A and B are shown apart, each in its own frame.
Chain A
Amino acid sequence: MNGNVEAVILGGIQVAAVVAAAPLLNGFIKKIKARFQLRQGPPLLQGYRDLAKWLSRSEHIAESSSFVRVLAPAGILAATVTALLFVPVFSERTPLTASGDLIVVVGLLALTRALLTLGGMDSGGAFGQMGSSRELAVGALVEPVLLLSLAALALQPQSTRLGDIVAFGDAHPEEFISLGWALAAAGFAVVLVAETGRIPVDNPDTHLELTMIHEGMLIEYSGRSLGMLHYAAMIKQLLLAVLLVNLFLPFGMARFDGLPGYALGTTLVVIKVALAGLALAILESALAKRRFFELPDLIGAAAFSAMLGAGVTVLFA
């Protein structure tokens, strides 16, 4: 088969797989957390039922909302899925490999943040505005961590294409696994926690105004729009988890060809993501939420770690 056609089909399957599996990871984390609390927890597939419920319900719209209300949910979903186009999932081949790289992924995630926070401010309700204000402050700190931790990995392969980074890591693990790698991974792990709205940065289980960031922005949304916003958040969570495991532990993925290879690649990535989900659930169960104004310490440390990771790679690799 023509290599390009194969890459497009493969990539399409990867994107579809992530979009389809996103609620599953959420359900998995909830299940583990519930077990830690000696509860049964909602079924694994509850996420799908919730989505179907929201998507089929009617919407209640604030009188003071503007065109941003329509733009935000659609734009956020579109930007998240577009970012997925450049993320290697079970193969390093992505559908539009020559059209985007890690900077584009960071840019598209920033676009989702802008649309989400604008949506939160749309109706003028103070809860949404509070969520937006906090999300933007956290997001501004997270952005350099995200970029630098990825850039640290891009230095050795001299490429910002995510597939190239994965291929390099898989082919040269002895150069890839280094002090710089470890520091960058630590930075990126904090990004994952902060961007998915998890403890100690945010609490996904509460609507209490003192603690919330993400839920606050959604407060004026209902029905179909709310479903889309929740769905986009789930996809983004899985996207970041896949980025973490595939970029920092790319082993056993890049060189697979043919069906058995893809099957093995898929199995590996499912196991890796499940482990990441397990780690998130354990972290959430073991830690308490930090006060909002203490967050700069955590994210600042992550930024320092990522910066150091890049610096160490420059000096010693």
Chain B
Amino acid sequence: MDDNLLATCMSLLLAASAASSVPPLRRFRPALVLSALASALALATAIHVTGTGEVTTLTLWEPSPYAMLELRLDPLGAVFAAIVGGVGLACSVFGVSYARHRPIDDVVYPLFLLMLLVVTCAGNVYTFLAAWEGMALASFALVLGDGAPRPRRQAAIVYLVMTHVATVFVAASFFIVAKGSDSAEFARMDGSALSVPLASLAFLFAVVGFGTKAGLIPLHIWLPRAHPVAPSHVSALMSAAMVKTGLYGIARVGLVFLGPGEPWWGIVLMSAGAASAVLGVLYALMERDIKRILAYSTVENVGLITVGLGAAVALRAEGRDALAGAALTAALLHATNHAWFKTLLFLSAGSVQRAAHTLNIDRLGGLARALPATGAATLAGSLAIAALPPFNGFAGEWILLRTLIGAGGAGGGDAVRLTSLIVAGAIALTGGLAVACFVRMFGIAFLGIGRTPEAIAAREPSPIMAGVLSALAVGCLATGIASAWVVRWLQSVPAAVLGAPAAQASHGGQLALTGGGAFSPVVIAAALIALAPLPWLLARMVFGASSQTQGPVWSTGVAFRPTMQYTGTSFSKPLRLFFGRVLLPERQIEVIYHGASPLPRLVRYSGRVPALFEERLYLPLRALALWSAGRLRLLQSGSVQAYLLYMMAALAVLLVVAQ
């Protein structure tokens, strides 16, 4: 049944794309309506596959026994297919009301979804690489749009370059494993025959290749450029679903193909994840554009998921399978949770853009009163992404921290134990910074009073958009409370990948690991909800009803004006100074005097936080690439004889090597 559903959903996506290229049909938004339908089907299929642990296969096209288009949806892939389906559903429905009519977008959007889906259920290396490339090109087209503003064009090109370099590493990693296992089919690929150095090389290639797509620092530079410029429903799809395909790749190669592996692989992965998490959220705190804040926060969350995957690799290599299973569960749970709240927040940015015509938080304010539904939903998403109970972000963080503290306990090598604890500290720091980041985003943009006429005049743009946001907010809370059942749904993955149980989701919706210490999201949520109205009721009973008067904000006796409020930049000043040695902020103050007067006539202030990785790492690399390209041009003489000579030489070298 699952294979039929899968085929139906893919045909629907193709039909959506085709129908969008027929002008008379366009006003029915076939791209979005059919995509929503297909996403729902994909979601249902994927939930079923992960829930039952059964593998579904489907051969699409078989030109030769060695190269065929083959789908194989197993529990691990299905988790990510479910993410694609769920995010696709929300984005497509939101898009019906939000997306502007632009033929190219309508044709490409369903294809992007299709490619995302095929990546998660590709059955062999060729299918995977073809879909991987299709996914990159489709998203490139969506980022580029009409390519009108220069930053947009630049963002798209940076993305294209990064993603292609990444594909080289991905392909190299796959080919090493495929050669070692004499098969390019995912079901039969197994690196256990590879020597340790070769397997390590395949692992590192996978981390670099997939890590670029996932946005691990320092491979992240395309992400904060490309995600913000696309339309919001596409940004959400990229940030909440596409980056996860990179994590899927790391899990597939690092855990499934390369078997138990080496502990240091896990240590490398955990360190990279922790660095991404801390730096990602720090940079998010320095941004003023809502979508750029969200893009950097994706870097942070990808880091957290990577820590989970790294812990799974390290613990499994040491034979601590139960903890490895918990670590993998934490990674997958956080991946699905992140899909909920990141979709919500990117779509909310879409609503804000439509309502107030800007995403710069320093030009917004007071939106919680102007857009009550969007405001409440965004608050829920902000609390969820800041990993606060009882929302879903906390459940993933709980399993991850509990696993890391468990990994620090007796039973493993000192290196893994110490790394686990240091990384646990880094995750706590990330959590604290994430609270600061999202309180700042919500507090500056949604609280206080509007800073511009547009922000003051903002109204809910459409009931469909508000409805999707509210549904996602309810989802963030519901999956948080019911996280034990989500973990139970995920249990088939660690069972299939490691042969180990997940965090035991025992009776009563409680999460627990081996060793003491459990967490029951149901009880915590119930306690919070029961206790919250209690103080008001008790105070009313004891002291009677209290009256209220209204008045303006106290501002030292002068009339309160919007410009008196903190801006996003001033709000993050303490952290900019605390972390000055990491962020290296720059500021320039220029004072102009007029004649002999001691009073300055004009003071100009400008400050910025430089994108260090771009300036210190990528610009020199680009210079090196251009310089070497210039040198290589000596070969390009323009004479046919020379070219024939090169071809002869290349052939000769190949023949010698192949001998």
Q: Using CB atoms and an 8 Å cutoff, list the residues of chain A in contact with chain B.
A: 52, 55-64, 66-68, 73-75, 77-79, 81-82, 85, 96, 98-104, 106-108, 110-111, 113-114, 117-118, 121-127, 129-130, 132-134, 136-137, 139-144, 146-148, 151, 154-155, 157-161, 164, 219-220, 223-224, 227-228, 231, 292-293, 295-296, 303, 306-307, 310-311, 314-315
Report B-chain residues with C-beta under 8 Å of the C-beta of A136: 435-436, 439-440, 574-575
For A117, list chain B residues within 8 Å (CB): 435, 439, 443
The answer to whether residues A67 and B516 also contact, given A75-B528, A100-B524 and a CB cut-off of 8 A, is no
Q: Nearest chain-B residue to A73 (Cβ)?
A: B535
A-B contact pairs, 26 of them (CB 8 A): A58-B549, A62-B550, A62-B552, A67-B368, A67-B372, A77-B534, A81-B531, A82-B524, A96-B527, A111-B383, A118-B379, A133-B573, A133-B574, A136-B435, A136-B439, A139-B432, A140-B436, A147-B424, A148-B428, A157-B516, A160-B515, A161-B517, A161-B518, A224-B543, A228-B539, A293-B574
- CB neighbours (8 Å) of A102 from chain B are 517
**Does B105 sit within 8 A of A, measured CB to CB?**
no
Q: Is the beta-carbon distance between B442 and A59 smaller than 8 angstroms?
A: no
Q: With a CB–CB cut-off of 8 A, which chain A residues contact B467?
A: none
Q: Is B154 an interface residue (CB 8 A)?
A: no
**A residues in contact with B527, CB < 8 Å:** 78, 81-82, 85, 96
Contact A158 B548 (CB under 8 A): no
Interface pair A125/B543, CB less than 8 Å apart: no
Minimum Cβ distance to chain B for residue A83 (Å)? 10
Min distance, Cβ A149 to any Cβ of chain B, angstroms: 10
Q: Which residue of A lies closest to B514 (CB)?
A: A158
Give the distance in Å from the alpha carbon of A107 to the alpha carbon of B389 in the complex.
6
Q: Is B327 an interface residue when CB atoms closer than 8 A count as contact? A: no
List chain B residues, Cβ under 8 A from A310.
408, 421, 425
When chains A and B are docked, how far (Å) is the Cα of A101 from the Cα of B547? 40
Contacts known (A58-B548, A107-B389); A96 close to B435, Cβ less than 8 A: no
* A219 (CB) vs chain B CBs: closest residue: B554
Chain A contact residues, majority secondary structure: helix
Complex Cα spacing A73 to B539, Å: 13
- 8 A Cβ contacts from B374-396 to A: 375-376, 379, 383, 386-389, 394
> With A58-B548, A139-B435, A155-B409 in contact, is A103–B566 under 8 Å at CB?
no
Q: How large is the interface on B (under 10, 10 to 19, 20 to 34, 35 or more residues)?
A: 35 or more
Q: A68-B447, A123-B553, A159-B516 are in contact. Are A130 and B422 (CB under 8 A)?
A: no
Report the bound CA distance from A60 to B546 in whole Å: 11
Residues of chain B from 413 to 452 with CB closer than 8 A to chain A in the complex: 414, 417-418, 421-422, 424-426, 428-429, 431-433, 435-436, 438-440, 442-444, 446-449
B366 touching A129, Cβ below 8 Å: no
| Interface assignment of B57: CB less than 8 Å from any CB of chain A | no
- In the bound complex, do residue B425 and residue A144 qualify as a contact, i.e. CB atoms below 8 Å apart? yes
- Whether the pair B401, A147 counts as a contact (CB closer than 8 A) is yes
On chain B, the residues within 8 Å of A106 by CB distance are 428
Q: In this complex, what residue of A is CB-closest to B576?
A: A137
- List 16 extra interface pairs beyond A110-B435, A124-B448, CB under 8 A: A59-B549, A74-B533, A81-B531, A103-B405, A107-B389, A114-B383, A121-B448, A129-B565, A137-B578, A139-B436, A144-B428, A151-B405, A158-B406, A224-B536, A293-B574, A296-B578
